Structures are given as C-alpha cells and as structure tokens.
A and B are shown apart, each in its own frame.
Chain A
Amino acid sequence: MRTTIFRVAATLWANRKARAGLSILFVFAAVAVLAPLLAPYSPTATNFARSAPASWSHPLGTTGSGQDALSQLLYGTRISLFVGFGAGLAATIVAMLVGVVAGYARGPIEVILGFATNLFLVIPGLPLMIVLAAYLPTRGVGTILVVVSVTGWAWGARVLRSQTATLAAREFVAAARLAGEGIWRIVWHEIVPNMVSLLAASFFGASTAAVLAEAGLEFLGLGNPSTISWGTMLFWAQNSNALLTGQWALLVAPGLCIALLASAMSLVNFGIDAIGNPRLRER
C-alpha cells in the first residue's frame, strides 16, 4: 500500500499539470499555516476607516465594517482548505465504504447501496445543500462541512463500485479467496491498493466541489457570517454594496483565490487521470 502511494506520487510529480497544481496547493497550505505572520493586522480588528479604497497600509482596502481585507483574505485560506480537504476526505471515506461494499457484496446489500448511490447522484446538489443547511438549527463551518460531505460522496461511490466489481472478478482476487484469505484482508490488501488512483481522483474531485460549495453557501448567507472566510468576504462585499462604492478588490480577490485553489485541485486530478488512463498521458 505504501509503495503504491509513493509510486502514484512520483508519477503525479512527473506530470506537468499535476506539478503545477501541487505547487499551488503547497503555497496555499503555507499561507494558511503562516497567516498570523503574513497578515499585517488582525482579521477581526474593526478600528480602521470603513470601506477605504486600496492604499499602502491596506493593499486591498477595508471592508464595510472597517476590517483589513488583505488580512481577512490570508486568514480565509484556512477555512477554505479545511472545509475543502475535510469534506473531500469525509466524502471519499463514505464513497469508499459504500462503493467497495456495494461492489463486493451480493444480494440485498448491493441493491440497496447501489440504489442509494444512484438516488444521491441524481438529486441536484446545490438545492439539497441549501435545503439541508436551512433545516439544520446551527449555522457555521461545521454545518457546511457536514452538508457538503453528505451531498458529495455519490459520484465517487459509483466509480469505486464499478472498479471493485471489476477487480473482484479478476484471477488474483479469486486466488486470494481460494487461498483462504478473509474478506477484510482481500478488500484491504488486494482490492483497495488497486484503486489508489481512483481514490485520489475522487478525493480531489470532492475537495474541488467542496471548496466551491462552501463559498456558494456562505455567499448565500447560510454559513456563520462572522467566520473569516472567502465565502463570507463575498457575502459581506455583496451585502455592503462594495461594487456600488467601487471597491472591486473586495470581490475580485476572494473570487480569484477560490478559483485558483479549485483549479489547482483540478490540475492535480488531470495528472491522476493520466495515471489511470494512459491515453491522456502527455507525450
């Protein structure tokens, strides 16, 4: 398992698109960790002039309630990375459990899990997320994490299910079964190591979707508006009419960061696709 991961990582790094994506992710991760050192002010300090345009002391201007926009942007990286990777991980774990069990099991379990996957696959994601977020009594990062994970696992589960079903029919799995290996050993040591690239693809796919979904939900005001994140920055920019006052930086900066983070994740996924499908590999 470990050697497989290293091999996947090495192949990824050899791919130009994936390398670009990984580099951008490293930069964002560094910003998230070093935010207190990089940010010129506290992101919650409100003792500056309100709605000030960009200047040397406030490169991105200040918000409608007098906070430094650049500091907010730097600190906001934390929430986006946390929700993105957190929801991506949660969705991938659910997808792996459902997909592997549905692909390997026979009988009613397979039917029920397959049905649940297809159901969640066709229910439109954003409306479901919004309705869920509206029903849940608390508003905050945790709620968004749960909502995004609950709605994001089905695509990965379907892909992993068909891959498991294919692998389960192969000779080496039959050999392992005849050798008397238990079901968990077969799943963990024979099947899952052959799906590492698919798991990685569904992880980055789910993370990309989570970053965008989190921004969308917070923009609609379904998050906790006092959290410092890119989505809430956009929410406040919209609600304080930042565009009318000409403060386009309040809008452009968080949007570009979200786009850059999401495209970095997609770029990594291009590299993973190339591992799984040699036809797409760069010559």
Chain B
Amino acid sequence: MRYVLRRLPVLVITLWAAVTLNFLLPRLMPGTPAGAAVAKLAGQGSVSASQRRAIEVMLGVPHGSLASQYWQYLKAIAGGNFGISYTYFPEPVSKVIGAALPWTLALVGTVTVMAFVIGTLLGVLAAWKRGSIFDTAASVGCTFMAAFPYFWTALVLLYVFGFVAGWFPIRGGYSASVSPGWDWSFFVSALGHSVLPAFTILVSGLGGWVLGMRNNMMGVLGEDYIVFAEANGLSPRTVALRYAARNALLPGVTAFGMALGLVVGGSLLTEVVFGYPGIGYLLYNAVVNEDYPLMQALFLVITVSVLMANFVVDLIYGLLDPRVRR
C-alpha cells in the first residue's frame, strides 16, 4: 500500500503534464486550427463576422485568455466532454471515439497478447539452443522482420491474399451485408476481416519479443545460480524454464504492460491500409480532415491509456519483484 501511495504522485504529475502538453501543442503552432476549420466549414462564400461567430459557437471554439481557456479545457476533460467533431458533425467526439474503441481493443489487444506469448516462448527457445541454426535463424529473421515498415507488410499481404488469391476481404471491419450486433453472421464477417490486419501486427510485433527475451535469457543464463543448478544435475529443460526463464521474464513484463497501453493507440498504419474502423484509422481521418477536436481527444486518450498501463505495470512489478518495493 505504501508502495502504491508513493507511485501515485508520479502518475498524477505525468497525467497533468500530458494533458497540458495536449492543450499547449495546437496553441504553440502558428495559425489557429479552429480558424482554419471555421473557414473550411464556411465554404467558398465570404463569411460575415456574425456568421463566423455563429459557427464558432456551434463548434465550441475556445475564447478568452490562455488561462481561462486552460481552465475551461481542464473542466471539460474532467467531465469527459471533448467537444464536437468537425467531420462527424454534430456527433460529440466522445461518441465517435467510443464507437471506434471496441474494434481496436478486440483486434490489437488480442494480437498483442498473442505476440507476447509466442515471441517470449521462441526467445526462450533461441537462448536455450544458443548458437544453433534455430537461434541464428530466429535472431536474423526477427531483425529483418522488425526492419520492414509494417504498413508495407500490410500492403503486401493485402495484395497477395486479398487481391491475387482473394481469400480475405480487402477493406473495412465487416462486410456491408451485415449490421453490427451480437449475432453469428456479424461475428464471422468481423473475424474474416480481422485476419489480415491481425497477421500483419503479429508478424511485425513478434520479432521484438523474441530478441528481447533471448537477450534477457542470455544475461540470466550467465548467473552463478544457473551454473549451480546445472551442477546439481537438473535437466537442461528444468534449468531453462523453471530457473532462467522466470527471472528473464521480468523486463518482458514491463514491456508487455507498455505494449498493452499502446493497444488503444491502435496499429495506426495497419488500420489505415486495411481501412479498419479502429482508433488509428480514426486519428488518420481526423488529421486528413483537419478535425482538431477529434485529433486532440484521440491523442489524449492514447497517451492517458499508456500512462495508466505504465502505472499498473509498476504496481505489478512491485508484487513480482520485492526488491523494487524498497
């Protein structure tokens, strides 16, 4: 409990810094995003002062001094009010984000867990069989795989399995013939649409876990207690899995927590390539359409989820490794 209390102020200050950064970023930049949006919305005709004022009020464009804007911004965020989306007018931003969130959580969340489990196991195996063909193939293969821009992997998979083979659908989260709901046909359609994006994320994410776990294992395998366990005549499998892997997993847990936090941000480029209706694609659309309220809110949601995940990981780490509690 004392450990939790000691970590809490750090979380609060970091959250405040992230929220403030999100407030300041658009205001530090030249020109006003809101002004651009007003001009865009007003269309070609000239805008009279009263028309402009009406549009600004309708969109909730902030007024007043920087300090009063900041205060209003903090109040609005505390109430979960992110303003109104320019693109999906008159939908509030929070509703637009709420609609996209489940897609991203389901797809990227599942794949992140899968990548962690599979990658870590492969990493243990590579370190255990150090210097073997498997080890070399795994390390070189993973380095090369991690070097591919993952949107490119997505494009190639899309071309091969979507266009040429025609096995999987090309765009979207579900086919137009079904409507979202809790029924079987929708589930099947959504699953079919998620295979290629999921595979892309898995392929691009796996390498990091393999290499990370392999390097951690290398460090642990050199420890004295491992030599002692081997000298006791324990089987190599027991030494690798029960003695080495358990300790080597600790840094991996931190990374896994960060990866879970990043899930909300989605796999942006993959979602864009496949037109998947998640958070990443939404952020891309917000940027393309200069939808600043949506963009700001998305960035905040993405950042805050990473911060919260980090906090939780810190706490779990305290449970797993008693040394850090002191």
Contacts and interface: CB of A to CB of B under 8 A. Distances in A.
Contact of A243 (B31, B149, B163, B299): B163
Interface stretch (A117-125, A170-178, A188-196): A117-125
Interface residues of B, number: 50
B222 interface: yes
Interface of B: 13-14, 17-18, 21, 25-26, 29-31, 33, 131, 143-144, 146-149, 151-152, 155-156, 158-159, 163, 215, 218-219, 222, 258, 261-262, 265, 268-269, 272-273, 283-284, 287-288, 290, 295, 298-299, 302-303, 306-307, 310
5 contacts: A119-B21, A122-B310, A130-B268, A260-B147, A261-B147
B306 A123 contact: yes
Nearest to A21: B143
Interface residues of A, number: 46
B29 A216 contact: no
A279 B219 contact: yes
A252 B156 CA distance: 8
Contacts of A251: 152, 155-156, 159
Given A115-B13, A238-B155, A280 B144 contact: no
A127 B302 contact: yes
Contacts of B269: 126, 216, 219-220
Contacts, number: 124
A243 B265 contact: no
The 8 closest A-B pairs by CB, nearest first: A263-B147, A262-B147, A255-B152, A135-B29, A259-B148, A134-B287, A124-B265, A243-B159
Given A123-B303, A124-B265, A219-B269, A212 B155 contact: no
Nearest to A280: B218
Interface string A155-192: 00000000000000000000000000000000000000
B26 A135 contact: yes
A177 B173 CA distance: 63
A119 B18 contact: yes
B149 A135 contact: no
A255 B303 CA distance: 29
Nearest to A273: B215
Contact of A126 (B146, B155, B268): B268
B151 A263 contact: no
Given A122-B310, A216-B149, A216-B269, 4 more contacts: A124-B302, A127-B265, A127-B268, A243-B158
A270 interface: yes
Interface string A213-224: 001100111100
Contact of A128 (B151, B155, B261, B299): B299
Given A118-B14, A248-B159, A255-B148, A127 B143 contact: no
Given A119-B17, A123-B303, A127-B283, A259 B152 contact: yes
Contacts of B148: 255, 258-259, 262
Contacts of A244: 163
Nearest to B298: A127
Nearest to B148: A259
A121 to B, nearest CB: 9
A122 B159 contact: no
Contacts of A51: none
Contacts of A15: none
A208 interface: yes
A153 to B, nearest CB: 16
A137 interface: yes
Contact of B155 (A118, A119, A221, A243): A243
Contacts of B156: 251-252, 255
A50 B152 CA distance: 23
B303 A234 contact: no
B172 to A, nearest CB: 16
Contacts of B31: 137
B265 to A, nearest CB: 5
Contact of B262 (A124, A234, A252): A124
A238 B156 CA distance: 11
A37 interface: no
Contact of B299 (A127, A212, A258): A127
A261 to B, nearest CB: 8
Nearest to A237: B155
A212 B149 contact: yes
Contacts of A115: 13-14, 17
A10 interface: no
Contacts of B298: 127
A2 interface: no
Contact of B306 (A122, A136, A263): A122
Contacts of B299: 127-128, 131
B307 A122 contact: yes
B265 A135 contact: no
A267 B17 CA distance: 37
Nearest to A221: B288
Contacts of A221: 288
B295 A258 contact: no
Nearest to B265: A124
A270 to B, nearest CB: 7
A95 B109 CA distance: 32
Given A119-B17, A126-B265, A251-B159, A135 B306 contact: no
B30 A255 contact: no
Interface string A238-251: 10000110001001
